[in-house]
Amino acid sequence: MISEQTASREDYLEAIAKLREEEPSVRVTQISKRLGVKKPSVTAALHKLSEDGLVKHRRYGVVELTPEGRRIAEEVMRRHEVLFRFLSEVLDIDGEIAQEDACRVEHLLSPTSLDRLAKFVEFVLTCPKGQPVWHKGFKYYSEQGERDQELVARRLGEESQ
Amino acid sequence: MISEQTASREDYLEAIAKLREEEPSVRVTQISKRLGVKKPSVTAALHKLSEDGLVKHRRYGVVELTPEGRRIAEEVMRRHEVLFRFLSEVLDIDGEIAQEDACRVEHLLSPTSLDRLAKFVEFVLTCPKGQPVWHKGFKYYSEQGERDQELVARRLGEESQ
DNA sequence: CCGAACTGTTAGCCTAGACTAACTATTATA
DNA sequence: TATAATAGTTAGTCTAGGCTAACAGTTCGG
């Protein structure tokens, strides 16, 4: 479903958890479609995840998360959510792209940055000081900037010396 | 120098470019130290990068970027810079962590998101509407939030349904 | 100018993940 | 119930990257 070339263990757990919310039983084919990966890759991944006690899976049977697997999946989903909201709601990135970027980045950001980002998103969208103006302000600024992207890049470069 | 377990081709190009700024000639050992990777890994990486025409390197000699290699390296450094500034200046993340996160994420974010993030950083730090207040506002908010982090997380969760 | 010390390379092996081709179970339908 | 279709697995390969051990070049000091 979501286009990706390579999926990590965490992606599998996340996919299984999401599918579980949508359908009563999770099967290899569903995971395969969702992650854009062939079925043998899913089988292989499930083997490893089984060994690590994160999923339960008997040959030709359904796939389930263990409590530990579920815990991790939920953590990943939380990270995904934070990133997705930042990209789509704060940066106003197209939903499709925001999903893909969130998928890729969700495994790599440190907990520190992630937590801080969560607070930041919360802050920006809540705007406690009562200035939701800033959001419109950014959109305006950003659209203007589309024309002289180069200029902005150059300014960034200079300031960073 | 920067702690990392696995480095991508782009990391090598970036490291070479950075080292080049610091010292007249770049050698395998320097790259190895900088990326926290053993020397044979560097040799192997240089082979591939040579095949792709991104670096020039003769056995036991110095390492140089080709024009194309330099172009890519500069692009990566720009991405790194944008991410680092966002993390350290906007989110106020510790410099060490910000560097590491930027290193990991810089290869994965889409150009769209990256450009938008660059503009966002510019906007936030420039604050065209003349409200640098917001920055202090976030710091305050964020410190308060440290105590009831859980609560914030929960609120995020609810809203995302 | 020769050997010690350092630098770099090769060879061989490991891990994560993905793929195809071919085989085995299961399900469903005539 | 037999057989076709679908689902899942196995086996064998591939790629990117990393590592160690052992070998080969270079350089520097005596």
Q: Rounded to whole angstroms, what are the CA distances from B155 to A117, A126, B31?
A: 14, 11, 45
Question: What is the CATH number for A37?
Answer: 1.10.10.10
Asked whether residue B106 is domain-assigned, the answer is: no
Specify the residue for token string 């103006």. A133
What pLDDT, on a 0 to 100 scale, did the predictor assign at position B149? 43
Average model confidence (pLDDT) across chain B: 82
Asked whether residue B94 is domain-assigned, the answer is: no
What pLDDT, on a 0 to 100 scale, did the predictor assign at position A149? 44
What pLDDT, on a 0 to 100 scale, did the predictor assign at position B151? 42
What pLDDT, on a 0 to 100 scale, did the predictor assign at position A103? 92
Max CA distance (Å), chain B: 59
Do residues B109 and A131 touch, judged by C-beta distance below 8 A?
no
- Count Cα atoms within 13 angstroms, Cβ side, for A4: 25
pLDDT tens, position by position, A107-152:
999 999 999 999 888 888 776 554 544 555 555 555 544 444 444 3
What pLDDT, on a 0 to 100 scale, did the predictor assign at position A154? 42
Nearest CA in chain B to A98: B113
Protein residues contacting strand D, judged by Cβ under 7 Å: A 27-29, 39-40, 42-44, 46-47, 57, 59-61; B 5-9, 35-38, 40-41, 44-45, 48, 59-60
pLDDT band at B125 (very low <50, low <70, confident <90, very high): confident
| DSSP-derived secondary structure for chain A | ----S---HHHHHHHHHHHHHHSSSB-HHHHHHHHT--HHHHHHHHHHHHHTTSEEE-TTS-EEE-HHHHHHHHHHHHHHHHHHHIIIIIS---HHHHHHHHHHHTTTS-HHHHHHHHHHHHHHHH-TTS-THHHHHHHHHHHHHTTTHHHHHHHHHHHT-
Q: Do A115 and B78 count as a contact with CB atoms less than 8 A apart?
A: no
Asked whether residue A16 is domain-assigned, the answer is: yes
Domain that holds residue A35: 9-71
Please give the structure tokens belonging to residue A58.
Answer: 């008997």
What pLDDT, on a 0 to 100 scale, did the predictor assign at position A153? 41
pLDDT of B127 strictly over 70: no
Domain closes at, from A71, A86, A117? A71
pLDDT cut 70: percent of chain A above it: 75
Number of domains chain A is built from: 2
Do residues B75 and B17 touch, judged by C-beta distance below 8 A?
no
Asked whether residue B137 is domain-assigned, the answer is: yes
Average pLDDT for residues A59-81, to the nearest whole number? Answer: 96
What pLDDT, on a 0 to 100 scale, did the predictor assign at position A5? 66
Do residues B2 and B34 touch, judged by C-beta distance below 8 A?
yes
Q: What is the ipTM of this complex?
A: 0.79
Q: Which of A3-7, A54-58, A111-115, B126-130 has the highest mean pLDDT?
A: A54-58
Asked whether residue A94 is domain-assigned, the answer is: no
| Angstrom distance (rounded) from CA A128 to CA A38 | 47
| Angstrom distance (rounded) from CA B21 to CA B30 | 13
pLDDT of B102 strictly over 90: yes
Do residues A122 and B152 touch, judged by C-beta distance below 8 A?
yes
Max CA distance (Å), chain A: 59
What pLDDT, on a 0 to 100 scale, did the predictor assign at position A135? 56
Domain closes at, from B46, B71, B96? B71
Asked whether residue A38 is domain-assigned, the answer is: yes
Q: Do B128 and A117 count as a contact with CB atoms less than 8 A apart?
A: no
Average pLDDT for residues B145-152, to the nearest whole number? Answer: 43
| Out of B93, B108, B121, closest to residue A116 by CB | B93
| Angstrom distance (rounded) from CA B35 to CA B1 | 6
Rounded, the Å distance between the CA of A52 and C1' of C16 is: 15
Domain closes at, from A71, A89, A112? A71
pLDDT of B3 strictly over 70: no
| Angstrom distance (rounded) from CA A79 to CA A73 | 10
| Out of B98, B110, B117, closest to residue A100 by CB | B110
